[in-house]
Amino acid sequence: MTFGSGAMTNSINEIPDSKVLFIIGSNPTEAHPIIGTKMKQAVARGAKVVAVDPRRTEMADVADVWLRLRPGTDIALINGIMNIILANGWEDKKFIAERTEGFDQLRAQVAKFPPEVVSKITGVPVDQLIEAARIYATAESAQIFYTLGITEHIYGTDNVMILADLSMLTGNVGKENSGVNPLRGQNNVQGACDMGALPDVLPGYQKVTSPTARAKFEAAWDVPIKSESGLMLPDMIEAAFDHEVRAMYIMGEDPVLTDADANHVREALETLDFLVVQNIFLSETAKLADVVLPAGSFAEKDGTFTNTERRVQRVNKAIEPIGQARADWQIICDLATRMGYPFAYASPADVMQEIASLTPQYAGITFERLGRKGLQWPVPDAEHPGTKFLHEGKFARGKGLFMAIEYQVPDEPPDEEYPLLLSTGRRLSHYNISTRYSEALDSYAPEELAELNPEDAERLGIKDGERVKVASRRGALETKVRITDRVLPGMLWMSFHYKESPANVLTNAASDKVTKTYEYKVCGVKVSKVI
Amino acid sequence: MKTLLDPCCDRCTHTPETPCRDYVRCLTEGPICHDDPACKAEKQRLLKEIKPNEENQQIFVCTGTGCASCGAHNIVDSLNEEINHQGLANTVNVVPTGCHGFCEQGPTLIIEPRQILYTLVKPDDVAEIVQKEFVEGERVERLLYVDPLTNQPATTFANANFFAKQTRVVLNNCGFINPEKIEDYIARDGYKGLTNALQKMTPVEVIDEVKKSGLRGRGGAGFPTGLKWSFCRQAIGDKKYIICNADEGDPGAFMDRGVLEGDPHAVIEGMLIGAYAIGADEGYVYCRAEYPLAIKHLEIAIRQAEEVGLLGDNILNSGFNFHLFIRAGAGAFVCGEETALIASIEGKRGMPKVRPPFPAQSGLWGKPTNNNNVETWANVPHILRNGADRYAQFGTEKSKGTKIFALTGKVNNTGLAEVPMGMTLRDIIFDIGGGIQNGKKFKAVQIGGPSGGCLPDEMLDLQVDYDTLTKAGAMVGSGGLVIMDETTCMVDIARFFLNFSQSESCGKCTPCREGTKRMWEILDRITKGEGKEEDLDNLEHLAVVVKETSLCGLGQNAPNPVLSALKYFRPEFEAHIRDKNCPAHVCSALMTYSIDPDKCKKCGLCAKSCPSGCISGDKKTPYQIDVAACIKCGTCADVCKFGAVIRA
Amino acid sequence: MEWITLTIDGRTVTVPKGTTVLEACRMNEIPIPTLCHDPELSSYGSCRLCIVEIEGMRNLPPSCVTQATQGMVVRTQTTKVRDSRKTILELLVANHPLDCMTCQKMGDCDLAKYAYEYRVTGELFKGGERRHLPLDDSNPFILRDANKCILCGKCVRACEEVQGRSVLDFSFRGFHAQVGPAFNLPYSESECVFCGSCVSVCPVGALTEKKMVGQGRPWEVEKVQTTCPFCGTGCNFDLNVKDGKVIGVTSNPEAPVNGKALCVKGRFGMDLIHNSERLTTPLIKKDGEFVEATWDEAMDLVAQKLGEVKQEHGADAISVLSSARCTNEENFLMQKLARAVIGTNNIDHCART
Amino acid sequence: MCEACEDLIDPKETELDAVIAQYVREKGALIPVLQKAQEIYGYLPTEVLKRVGRGLRIPLSKIYGVVTFYAQFRLMPMGRNVLRVCLGTACHVRGGAKVLETIEQELGVKDGGTTEDQRFTLEIVACIGACGLAPTMMINDEVHGRLTAENVTEILSKYE
């Protein structure tokens, strides 16, 4: 990363006082509704909004400028905006001089993206590009918000880095209401990363490749730790497919529905010698398992979640587990013990003690301190009040490094055979897979409604509410369609909530070279009416 | 043809873009910037054309809403016809004007300079009027106004009782200028007050002058105008607004309409002066949509003022800017309350806001805002033209100046009357108003509309000013005087006002929304003869709670008509409840109908018109009413030509 | 900070400048009834229940919008004040159904609380006109009974000021005023996204959580604050528990991120906890079919199988998928299991969705 | 544009859009726009309110709130002539009720009603400020005063 790790630099409750919101590849009012409401409060208090999205989201409706770019052309767009900023001398020269390096390479790169060219690539009119640049660059403070519309591309990392460039170019980072904020998708994706549920880092982003880091944990755990990174999810799937991985233990997730190219995932898991799935429902993945372990829901256990603004908060047990179900942490402890390494934790509070002792960001955290309000990491010691926003004064890596980013195209753009561009995401009334098990929510939004532009509908002879067959190179499904100008012509949008219309049998498993994030946002499909 | 507004010669450089500070004075006393007898003569001639005199006699025809509805426009047309026909066009001049105020006798016309007043004029009278007045130099006696008390015809309008006791300051121009011509207003010293303010005074001095005049808000509460202005002037704000409240919603009041229709520039000049004093550069006139003519005249006036540079930027080269806009109300009485009015201008439901903050701090769009009603603004030019002392000579110690009252109801001379503060009700009702119609007995006068109260005859010698009336349980309000005679039922009147208040309540605060409704229900019960003994106490208790706990003036004053009626006419309420009797014979449910066999001419009209078919009889036997079946609608009594049906 | 001193019911109290009389009273445990006031919303001053007597002020000013000033003398419990409050409550009750026995709000209803405290009889204005509006039962989440509405406007302000949506507003006026979506359509036909903020602020039974109807009375329910298991925002709320069952969710004003605000999933999606399809026992697949097993059977099998794979193919032949849905503690333990117990770095989760 | 397409365009809609465009930048534009819209359509159909809402970016709930607050706005079609009978104080004490009765019988409609032949819409209003001529009524923009049960019938006959 150009200045730090993947966490919100600012706090959610700073949002209502923002002067400028630059929202790109993110649909907060549906995917992060409460953050969405805070943004609308900001608008009510006079904040300016730049929305960048091919889809007409609610924020696009209230935006001062809505840049309706072609999916996947974000890099060109941001380069163009930086080009305009430099052309008008709107950059923050003092900030650039004092807190950044690599500006010259950036300038050279950006020079290749004059507004006219960018307008051609992105399909956004020049005057809108200029207005957006003016609003963002000339504001006293401005926040960037992005979500999976930025990361779920094969060049997702580059997308993120160029946003960092934009913020540093204008000095809109490292102060209140100024920063670059990823809105993390899942309730505890931040925490899972913090806790080192990643193949390359131990808790607290301490590299497995670092001898000192390993030494610390080996001392604490009294076992050797492998020095080379392990497999990322997509590689695990491939390795399973190639019989290099023989057994998998999957807790709480359902890759068969949530991972790209689902059919391929299913095949891979079927080839395993042994599969254990631990979940609260018999998920599509669980159906493939040799052993299924019933877990307790969040209401049935104690613990902590860490939200997208780095706030560690309590989860409190409200009821006993249903039937014989057990809390995931108890199951893991049991297994470890049975495998000859006793995990003797009396409670999650004990676990947090060990976490604090090994994770610098969590050093000052205890269940007692979290109380009703939680704490925002880093919390270096027992007195520290927590950290509202990151990078004040200096970046994690010292000076912020400008990265010159080259424009790239998606792995599988539409073509003659698969003429429509499929993009996927979440809707307000559901959350991934689990909310389907809420009677209330499911009766309210019982089925998929893929969004199709009137032009295409006209051409394909499809009417609102009709059922269609959607096919990609990897698979096919049936779904109802909603005809709406929320999507661009040539585009189809689907959620991935519905196992009846599992969008991920269509999506492309090509992934980002660094993070291995699948390109959920772009692949080619064809649509035909079901007769 | 050249008008007073045109430059006398090419030495005059005044335009809205290049304004001249002496523009207004120049038109009437000019030229100022150069001395040229020819120009002077020219200006004097044009001035004469406007002001009536022997060579230029003028017929002022009232075309205010009242007279217009009685065909005043036809009269104007036939007058012009007749005059041309008689070849008098260059010596006689017909001027359609705003309200003369004498609505009862409309259409009226006044011939200047002779001050002749003709009343109840019809188109057929026109030929005779022109012949007699302008050819033979005679009067048309039969059209002169006759005093109902003395039976003497009034030789001039000034000695007609209706006008004689009035002091016309605000209404000075009403009826004597063409409201659609700014030059008429200027010819009668219009915009001189503004010129004085801009040329000779600082904003603070203007405010002090208004304070000194003792002017108090004419909208009802009577808050000192100068003080109000100073609050808004002192308030911090990058922008300030002023508002003219022309949402004259009080049933029985129409003085604001009279002023807007008859002399719109007086209001504009008043607002200009106020804006200069307060430091506002934008203003709104919020006028109810029920006043189309007022809005029309106002629109014309604003356009004309803009054309000559009296509205806009750098007015009279003083650096002072002011822009004026009209907003038509959409029909909600509560919008007379200033915070509701502001909400309405902002495009919201007209629901009052809690104060503080007061509009002077945070009003229209959160900016400091000053709001006065039409009559208040119209007073201001006089103060600045003639000085506070001249103004303050009228009125009482605490209530200075004059007040326009709208005389209506069972009085002989209905219309608009402007009198000095402090005149007694008796003088207004009997001298100016000419007493009660058809020799009936005075019973009560309702002052101040739904916010005011009913006063009985023992209060007739009360001095009309803010404090005295409030003490008596009424209020000046906007100045509606509804006169009631013995045939008016006070319970029915109280019920009428509560019905009005509860249907106009915005519904925001509990006491007004729910309380006025329940008060009305109790009163309705009583008029239907279903009143209970405890009703009066409950009613009084509820009235006090609503008065003391409601959010805005509407709710706080809605109980006044009930409380004052209970105070002065309690026996009449008790009669309804205990004796199931309406002394005034108004509450139909409490009435019995019978037919006097001696008076009955056996025509059968009553039987034919009786909706419940409860009247029987025939050519030979007098008709009779089956009291049991009678629904007490009163139709029989209305249709009977011989007064044979007895109400009791 | 500038401080001012005033007298309330004979007590001398000192509060920061800019405090309202109501706040001053509440800071000092002096009870004042309110129906339309909510610290999270703009002040409205419409219910008039918080009226007090203040020396030198005419009428009875509402304490919620009256600023406390130096030397102010306030009386909150005089006969006049109490009588007026009682009359206002009588007026509200006169236009409010008296089906408290079966009302979902029973035990948690502010109107009922004050009516009881002020000995309201409901007799005073008996027989007068009442509202008769249809029940809005159009959606799975919110029940709207406009006849119980007291027009305090909290829901209108919450929808506009907190949610920025303005689905609700007043319509008509005076006695006929009501609150609802445009054209008073049912919620289901409006722009409503069912965040339930309106429900969370309603002081009476006009807006209630449909799924909680008949499930439990406030005094039977235990409230447990916790963190929402859905998106990454990290909203907090109270799980309402009765007899070991989660019957619904209510806002917790303490919530650091979201205050009273929630979205449709957080407020109404928790019935998934007791979904009949929940796994209640370990399952072992025997020739293609799942059969129920004991924990010992299942856990021994897992331990044994993983052991075998490690033996035959090495630790890296095992991959562990942790979960962004589970707690920090569980993720920590899972990666420790992978690294310390199994001995592989093959640990990952769907970090990227 | 071809004639066929021109036929599809609703002139009222174009007029309304022009009004919205004229006011869209102005503060507090809602009420004037609704007043003009009602002039164009004679009343305020739901579709028109939605169009105004989209044009001025005002939530529909607020527009409905405003429309139902002010007496002037109509959600139902109005007759060719709007007849406003005044029941203000002056008219009340001078027998306005009787006049109203006669009119109600004459037209067969009550307050707020519209005759079947769409000739009249009857409204009761508080005061039209012509109290001097009480009892009074207003038909469209014309005021009629000194009404009696007899002369109203004749006045009504003048309106088609």
pLDDT digits (tens, 9 = 90+) for C203-223: 999 999 999 999 999 999 999
CB contact under 8 Å between D89 and B252, yes or no, is: yes
B362 CB within 8 Å of a chain C CB: no
Contact residues on chain D for B68, CB-CB shorter than 8 A: 143
Per the structure, how many domains does chain D have? 2
pLDDT category of residue A391 using cuts at 50, 70 and 90: low
Report pLDDT digits (tens) over C90-99.
999 999 999 9
pLDDT category of residue B50 using cuts at 50, 70 and 90: confident
DSSP label at B216? B
Which phi and psi angles does A376 have, rounded to 5°? -100, 120
What integer is the mean pLDDT of B563-592? 91
β-strand pairing of A508-511 with A518-519: antiparallel
User: What would be the CATH architecture of the domain defined by A420-529?
Assistant: Beta Barrel (2.40)
Contact residues on chain C for A185, CB-CB shorter than 8 A: 231-232, 324, 352-353
Cβ burial of B129 (10 Å; 0-12, 13-18, 19+) is: buried
Closest alpha carbon within chain D to C179: D65
Residue with tokens 């007759």: D79
Chains touching D (at least 3 CB pairs under 8 A) are B, C
C and A touching (3 or more beta-carbon pairs closer than 8 Å): yes
CB contact under 8 Å between D130 and B104, yes or no, is: no
Lowest mean pLDDT among A5-19, A47-61, B130-144, B274-288: A5-19
Helical pair A115-122 and A126-137, crossing angle rounded to 10 deg = 110
Domain with CATH 3.40.228.10 in chain A: 12-183
CB contact under 8 Å between D94 and B410, yes or no, is: yes
pLDDT category of residue B155 using cuts at 50, 70 and 90: confident
Distance from CA of A497 to the nearest CA of C (A): 12
Q: How far is CA D25 from CA B365, B446, D22, in A?
A: 15, 46, 8
Distance from CA of B540 to the nearest CA of C (A): 12
A and B touching (3 or more beta-carbon pairs closer than 8 Å): no
Domain finish residue from D33, D49, D69: D69
Q: In CATH terms, is domain C129-274 a member of 1.10.10.10?
A: no
Report pLDDT digits (tens) over B507-553.
999 999 999 999 999 999 999 999 999 999 999 999 999 999 999 98
SS3 call for C74:
strand
CB contact under 8 Å between C62 and B507, yes or no, is: no
Q: D55 and D88: one domain? A: no
Q: Is D127 a domain residue?
A: yes
CB contact under 8 Å between D65 and C169, yes or no, is: yes
Q: B356 and B248: one domain? A: yes
- Given a cut of 90, is residue D9 above it in pLDDT? no
Q: B386 and B494: one domain? A: no
Domain that holds residue B623: 591-647
Q: B317 and B447: one domain? A: no
End-to-end Cα spacing for chain C: 48
Q: What is the mean pLDDT of chain C?
A: 93
Distance from CA of D1 to the nearest CA of B (A): 37
Q: D103 and D48: one domain? A: no
Of B65, B482, B493, the CB nearest to D143: B65
- How far, rounded to the nearest angstrom, does the alpha carbon of residue C249 sit from its chain's CA centroid? 7
What integer is the mean pLDDT of A345-369? 94
Q: Residue D1's pLDDT is what?
A: 43
Contact residues on chain B for D78, CB-CB shorter than 8 A: none
Distance from CA of C188 to the nearest CA of D (A): 14
What integer is the mean pLDDT of B181-209? 95
Q: What is the mean pLDDT of chain A?
A: 89
- How far, rounded to the nearest angstrom, does the alpha carbon of residue A85 sit from its chain's CA centroid? 28
Domain that holds residue D24: 3-69
Please state the pTM of the whole predicted model: 0.89
Of D49, D61, D68, the CB nearest to C166: D61
CB contact under 8 Å between C321 and A518, yes or no, is: no
Report pLDDT digits (tens) over B266-281.
999 999 999 999 999 9
- Given a cut of 90, is residue D97 above it in pLDDT? no
CB contact under 8 Å between A429 and C163, yes or no, is: no
Q: Which two tokens stand for residue A231?
A: 């497999």
**Helix (H), strand (E) at residue C247:** strand C245-250
Contact residues on chain C for A440, CB-CB shorter than 8 A: 140-141, 210-211, 268-269, 271
Q: Residue C94's pLDDT is what?
A: 95
Q: Candidates 3.40.50.1220, 3.40.630.10, 2.60.120.1310, 3.40.50.740; correct CATH number of A189-376?
A: 3.40.50.740
Lowest mean pLDDT among A8-22, B480-494, C118-132: A8-22
Q: Is D135 a domain residue?
A: yes
Contact residues on chain D for B289, CB-CB shorter than 8 A: 35, 72
Q: Residue A153's pLDDT is what?
A: 82
Report pLDDT digits (tens) over A223-251.
999 999 999 988 999 999 999 999 999 99
Contact residues on chain D for B348, CB-CB shorter than 8 A: 30, 62, 66
Q: What is the mean pLDDT of chain D?
A: 87
- Given a cut of 60, is residue A4 above it in pLDDT? no
Q: Candidates 2.60.40.1150, 3.30.160.20, 3.10.20.740, 3.30.465.10; correct CATH number of C3-77?
A: 3.10.20.740
User: What would be the CATH architecture of the domain defined by A12-183?
Assistant: 3-Layer(aba) Sandwich (3.40)
Q: Residue A510's pLDDT is what?
A: 81
3-class secondary structure per residue, A314-378: EECCCCCCCCCCECHHHHHHHHHHHCCCCCCCCCHHHHHHHHHHHCHHHCCCCHHHHCCCCEECC
Q: Residue D7's pLDDT is what?
A: 57
Domain of D116, CATH number, reads: 3.40.30.10
Size of interface B-D (CB pairs under 8 A): 147
Domain finish residue from D69, D96, D120: D69
CB contact under 8 Å between C172 and D59, yes or no, is: no
Amino acid type, B573: F
What integer is the mean pLDDT of B340-366? 93
D88 CB within 8 Å of a chain B CB: yes
CB contact under 8 Å between B65 and D90, yes or no, is: no
Percent of chain B past pLDDT 70, that is, above it, reads 100
Alpha helices, H only, B308-424: 338-345, 374-386, 388-392
What integer is the mean pLDDT of A284-300? 94
Closest alpha carbon within chain C to A259: C350
Amino acid type, B509: C
Q: Is D75 a domain residue?
A: no
Percent of chain B past pLDDT 90, that is, above it, reads 62
Q: Which of D62, D93, D124 to mutate to test the interface with B (most CBs of B within 10 A)?
A: D93
Q: Residue A137's pLDDT is what?
A: 92
Helix, strand, coil percent content, chain B, rounded in steps of 5? 45, 15, 40
- Given a cut of 50, is residue A2 above it in pLDDT? no
Q: Is B479 a domain residue?
A: yes
CB contact under 8 Å between C166 and D62, yes or no, is: yes
Contact residues on chain A for C192, CB-CB shorter than 8 A: none
- Given a cut of 80, is residue B422 above it in pLDDT? yes
What distance in Å separates the CA atoms of residue B221 and residue D38, rounded to the nearest whole number? 35
D131 CB within 8 Å of a chain B CB: yes
CB contact under 8 Å between C173 and B551, yes or no, is: no
Report pLDDT digits (tens) over B236-256.
999 999 999 999 888 778 899
Contact residues on chain A for C345, CB-CB shorter than 8 A: 199-200, 208, 225-226, 228-231
Q: B560 and B433: one domain? A: no
Report pLDDT digits (tens) over B309-320.
999 999 999 999
Q: Residue C153's pLDDT is what?
A: 96
Q: B320 and B345: one domain? A: yes
Q: Residue A392's pLDDT is what?
A: 66
What is the sign, positive or negative, of the torsion defined by CA atoms of A205, A211, A212, A217?
A: positive
Which phi and psi angles does B239 have, rounded to 5°? -145, 145
Q: Which of B482, B484, B490 to mutate to test the interface with D (most CBs of D within 10 A)?
A: B482
Domain finish residue from D47, D69, D91: D69
Distance from CA of C80 to the nearest CA of B (A): 9
Helical pair C79-94 and B535-549, crossing angle rounded to 10 deg = 100
Closest CA to C273 of A296, A433, A315: A296
Q: D54 and D111: one domain? A: no
- Given a cut of 60, is residue B634 above it in pLDDT? yes
Distance from CA of C175 to the nearest CA of D (A): 12
Q: Residues in chain C whose beta carbon is closer than 8 A to a beta carbon of chain B?
A: 43-49, 51, 59-60, 62, 65, 67, 83-84, 87-88, 91-92, 94-95, 124-125, 128-129, 150-151, 153, 169-170, 172-177
Amino acid type, D15: E
Residue B111 pairs in a beta bridge with B59, B116
What integer is the mean pLDDT of D136-149? 86
Domain of B546, CATH number, reads: 1.20.1440.230
Q: B569 and B595: one domain? A: no
Size of chain D, expressed as the number of residues it contains: 160
Q: B329 and B419: one domain? A: no
Alpha helices, H only, D24-129: 30-41, 46-56, 60-69, 89-93, 96-107
- Given a cut of 70, is residue C154 above it in pLDDT? yes
Q: B374 and B248: one domain? A: yes
CB contact under 8 Å between C305 and A186, yes or no, is: no
Q: B625 and B554: one domain? A: no
CB contact under 8 Å between C169 and D62, yes or no, is: yes
The total of other beta-carbon atoms located within 10 Å of residue D1's CB is: 7
Q: Which of B548, B550, B560 to mutate to test the interface with C (most CBs of C within 10 A)?
A: B548
Could you tell me if B233 and B203 are in contact, meaning their C-beta atoms sit under 8 angstroms apart? yes
Q: Residue A3's pLDDT is what?
A: 46
Closest alpha carbon within chain C to A287: C290
CB contact under 8 Å between D65 and C170, yes or no, is: yes
Distance from CA of B346 to the nearest CA of D (A): 4
B272 CB within 8 Å of a chain C CB: no
Of A195, A224, A259, the CB nearest to C328: A195
pLDDT category of residue C130 using cuts at 50, 70 and 90: very high
- Given a cut of 50, is residue D40 above it in pLDDT? yes
Q: D97 and D147: one domain? A: yes
Q: Which two tokens stand for residue C329?
A: 């503690």
CB contact under 8 Å between D143 and B68, yes or no, is: yes
Per the structure, how many domains does chain B have? 5
Contact residues on chain B for C43, CB-CB shorter than 8 A: 354
